[in-house]
Homo-oligomer: A and B are copies of this chain.
Amino acid sequence: MQLNEIFKKLKQGQSTVIDFKIKKNPNILTAASLEKAKENDISFLDNNSQLNLKNLIKTSKASALLLPAYDKYVVEIAKKISVDWILLKDPKIAFAETLEILYPTEIEGEGIHKSSVIGENVKVGTGVSIGANVYIGDNTEIGDGTIVHAGVVVYKNVSIGTHNTIHANSVIHSGSKIGDECVINANAVIGGEGFGFVPTSNGWKKMPQVGVVILKNKVEIGSGSTVDRPAVGETIIGEDTKIDNQVQIGHGVTIGKGCAMAAQVGIAGGAEIGNGVILAGQVGVSNKIKIGDQVIASSKTGIVSNIESGKVVSGFPAIPNKLWLRCSANFKKLPEIAKAIRQLDRRNFR
């Protein structure tokens, strides 16, 4: 596709074109990073990139560049290079849109593969694709345009909305309610039983888990992630919340809208998480903790007490990020600190 065609489509998108130079109007075949791009590739530079990345513009072999319009250093370079470019308010969004243009989503063939097993009283919408060796339990509903890949197991009484993509070998348990435009990645488990056992004199007594899991619209669940259903009530993941791989969401957790949770995060039962919360990789949240809106926790943070809206936290137990950075810097000095005190106070400290 020629660059001026991509340009026309970007003008209709969300990235806000500010300026452009399309002289050679190259034929764009693929997209790549600045470093790895070759001829006929398009590449981009994000806002607020590091200097060494900015300088890559000078040497990149890409045939077209999507660049940040409000970065003077970058614009200066752009004026000197021979390659075509487009200046944008948000070049990363432009790159995402360009990938959509260059690599349109393949349409799965509509229809139910003959090797799949469909229970009784299952309602299937129009434009639905159900792959090989899928199992759909009784009384389940699957809305229009939803794609169910090979090997997926959906138990009974599940409600799945429209235009979802459910990847291979994932499992959705009874009673789960999936909204519209969700993505459930391979080997994820939605609605497994919560971990509830009561100690008795005869060992563990299992608390029946008769609640359900609700995924609102535009929720994405990563490969191998698990979202448990509660004893009573619901586990809820809010609209547009994105969850990476191998994340555990415990029974009865409530998560707000527009959150992002990176890989290997674990959220224990009953936690309540607000809107726009970002948890980095391997973060843990203890049970029944309340986290406000727009909270950010850096990687490996352990949240064991409530966090107010807007806070940025780190460490275990979690403390304000800036304080944690200073504490960590001093942690490295602990042997010296101990030595200094030993010298100052030989009597009391050894």
Contact = CB atoms under 8 A, between A and B. Distances in A.
Given A133-B135, A337-B338, A338-B333, A242 B93 contact: no
Copies of this protein, total: 3
A328 B316 CA distance: 8
A132 interface: yes
Contacts of A328: 317
Given A135-B131, A210-B103, A200 B326 contact: no
B262 A268 contact: yes
Interface residues of A, number: 112
Given A117-B132, A151-B135, A281 B268 contact: yes
A274 interface: no
25 contacts: A30-B232, A32-B233, A99-B207, A102-B210, A117-B150, A131-B135, A133-B133, A153-B168, A169-B169, A185-B189, A186-B189, A187-B187, A187-B226, A203-B258, A223-B226, A224-B224, A263-B268, A264-B284, A266-B281, A282-B284, A299-B302, A330-B337, A337-B338, A339-B348, A343-B348
The 7 A-B pairs of least Cβ separation, nearest first, read: A153-B168, A135-B150, A99-B208, A330-B334, A117-B132, A171-B186, A189-B223
